[in-house]
Structures are given as C-alpha cells and as structure tokens.
Amino acid sequence: MTACLIARDEERRLPACLQTLGFCDEVVVVDGGSHDRTIEIARAAGARVIENPWPGFAAQRNVALDHAQGDWVLEIDADERVSPELAAEVGAMLAAPPARMQMAAIPMRDVFLGRPLGPSARYPRYRHRLFRRDAYRHDDTRTVHEGLWPDGPVLALAGELEHRLADGWGEAIGDTLRYARLEGGQRPRTGPLATLGAALPRPLAKLAYRTLLYGGWRDGWRGLAKIGLECGGDSLAALYGLRLGTGAEPAEPPRIGPLRFVGIAIAPGDAVRLGAWLAGAAEMGGDVSLVCRDAPAGLAVPVRELSGGGPGALARALDAEDQIRPIDALLAAGRRERALLRFCPRALRGGVPPLRPEWAVGAAVSDVQERLREPG
C-alpha cells in the first residue's frame, strides 16, 4: 500500500504525520514548491519525493497517484495523523479485502484550538481516503473539495484519522478566508439577489441545524466557534463568487453504481423486519444499511446504532450514512420514523419519498430506479 501526500511549506507539521505511516509499504510526497525544509524532511523519513509546481489540489493529488506503486492508496495531508487503531484496521482489511468494495471511508476527528470536536464537526465526518489505485481519479476542474465520489459499496472503518486544525485564532480565521476564496472561485457567477440568498439564509439555516439539531453545542465554545467560522466562510464564498466566479461550477457527479438504501427502525422488532427487506435488496445488487436502536444480533446487513430516539440522533446517523455514500432511498419502519424524518434536512431524505417495508422489494427497487431517472 502507498501513502500519498501533497505538501508545500509543511516542515512544522509533516514529521508527525510521517511518523504514523510506518505500516505503509511506501510513502509518496509531491511537493508543490516549498521554500522550507519539507523536501529534506520527507526524504530523511524514507519518502519518495516528487517535485511538481503547484497546479491545484485535485491535479496535484493525481500526480501523487501516478507515482504510487501500491494496489491500494491512502491519501493523507501533513496536518493529519493515522491513529494506531486505524493502522491496525487498515492492515487487517488489506490482508483480506472485502468483496465488491474498492474503497473505504475513514472517520475524521477534527482537533480545533487544541481540543477534539464531535457533533459540531459532523463526526465521524467520513472521508474516502483509502481506495484501489486504478479505480479512481480526482476531478481536476475543482479548485477545492476535490474528494473522490464512490461508485459502489464503501467499507466504513472505525479507526480515526486525526485532523489537526488551527492552533490559534489567527490561523483559524486565515484558513476560513483562504478556503472561502477558493470556493468562491469555482462557483458560477450569479446576480446580486441570488448571491444574497446564498450569503444569508443558507448559512443561517446551517448554523441552526449544526448547533441545535446536530448537537454542536455539546462541544462547548470551540464547537460553536467552528460552526460559526464555517457558516461565515459559506457567506464569504458566495460574496467572492459574485466577483471571482467563473460561471463554470463543476457539475455534481451523476448517481452511479448500485442503489443505496438505508432503513430506519426505532423498535428492535422493526429492525428485524427491515433487515430482511434490506437483505433482499442487497441480493438484487443494492447497497444497504440499517439505522436502528438496540440492534438485535444476527442481522445480515450493516448496522448503525442510533444514540437516541429523537430527530437529532436520526439526523446525525443519516448524515454519517450519507457521508459514506449518498442515500438514494430511505426505508421507514412506521409512522414514528416518518414523523422524525420531517425534522431532518431535505438533503438527507434520499432522492425519493420514504419506502415502506410492506412493499415488495423488487417492485420498490424498480420504482426507485424509475423515479431517479425522471428529470428534475
């Protein structure tokens, strides 16, 4: 396996990152024009260094992929650290890769102003950083948010990738301004009214959802500060887009691969019923998962435990499932589950209205396929 890093002027953070990569067969560092000791540090640690003038995040990551030799690749940044648990889990997975899977999602634990964050940072905030080298490429039309888009089932790992964010307020504000400018530069140029809508109502709605529904307040003042900076960055990106936008925002990728079904059950008895339905969908090639409380043993589908019975717990669980791979359709056990869904953000409700477990699996799958093909 190859660990791939892109770096520029990272002498302060790179050594600690490289120290956590001892389980990898090789480390490739692509340097984008450092003026400090980044290259020297990387070579001293045994990494293979490629010097390439900075072409942008996505293009630089593709350069790293082009020089990797392992069948599997772990993408990591200088401000990230592989936990011992994750290193052991990755080693076990590579020894016996799961069938049908070419990608794994890794939980990202943000450390902000010296403390780890939870719900305010949408933990587990899965990132698709581990994948078969020949299966994926980055979209080099993107200036930021250059992540990969899974086209099939994804293995959700438990070990964390620690992300060391800003240690001080100056760095935190500087990062917000820099990413807002990059985001604004890849937005389509809009008029003043559309820009105002993107700069005010949407960030305010995000602030409310992240603070209250997702429970971001639980992380204290650091969590609230992190949410506030993200929402402020969204507003700035919209304003930057008015001036810097290119009018050619990269299109979202089409829905590809098997349909993604996620079941929701509060009662254990319903979990068994939904588990059987989802297992039938999996036999038809579907990508399935079940969100429930007190899951009984023996379920034949992946399970995510609900931390509570309220809308906040459900929103957090669905958000995690959607991070792993976007949800096409939800399967709600009954009225209670459908009522809770009304409080969840629309983006987490799938592409079609919730399915019911009494519907025949084959007919429901065909109906979802047809609905998702409909324009708009």
Whole-angstrom Cα distance, residue 11 to residue 274?
51
What is the reported pLDDT for 245? 55
The answer to whether 44 and 128 have CB atoms below 8 angstroms apart is no
Whole-angstrom Cα distance, residue 43 to residue 59?
22
Chain region(s) in the chain for CATH 3.90.550.10: 2-164
Given a cut of 70, is residue 376 above it in pLDDT? no
Name residue 27's beta-bridge partners. 3
Burial of 336 (0-12, 13-18, 19+ CB in 10 A): middle
Mean pLDDT confidence for 139-145: 72
CATH superfamily of 2-164: Spore Coat Polysaccharide Biosynthesis Protein SpsA; Chain A (3.90.550.10)
- Name which residue leads in pLDDT, 316 or 238: 316
What is the reported pLDDT for 173? 94
| pLDDT tens string 236-276 | 888 877 665 565 555 555 567 899 999 999 988 899 999 99
Chain region(s) in the chain for CATH 3.40.50.2000: 260-373
Residues written for the chain: 376
| pLDDT tens string 85-131 | 999 999 999 999 887 789 999 999 999 999 999 999 999 999 999 99
Whole-angstrom Cα distance, residue 38 to residue 276?
53
| pLDDT tens string 36-63 | 999 999 999 999 999 999 998 999 999 9
What is the reported pLDDT for 100? 79
Count of alpha carbons within 13 angstroms of residue 180, beta-carbon side: 22
Whole-angstrom Cα distance, residue 20 to residue 84?
8
Output the pTM of the full model. Answer: 0.89
The class that CATH gives domain 260-373 is alpha beta
Given a cut of 70, is residue 146 above it in pLDDT? no
Cis peptide before 253 (omega within 30 of 0): no
What is the reported pLDDT for 144? 66
With cut-offs at 50, 70 and 90, classify the pLDDT of residue 375.
low
Mean pLDDT confidence for 283-309: 91
Tell how strand 329-332 and strand 80-82 pair up: unpaired
**DSSP letter assigned to residue 168:** S
The answer to whether 87 and 149 have CB atoms below 8 angstroms apart is no
- Residue type present at position 287: D
Whole-angstrom Cα distance, residue 8 to residue 259?
39
Mean pLDDT confidence for 144-166: 89
Burial of 53 (0-12, 13-18, 19+ CB in 10 A): exposed
With cut-offs at 50, 70 and 90, classify the pLDDT of residue 181.
confident
- Over pLDDT 90: what percentage of the chain? 71
What is the reported pLDDT for 249? 54
Return the C-alpha torsion angle 101, 366, 254, 145, nearest 10.
-60
Average pLDDT of the chain is 90
Whole-angstrom Cα distance, residue 50 to residue 66?
11
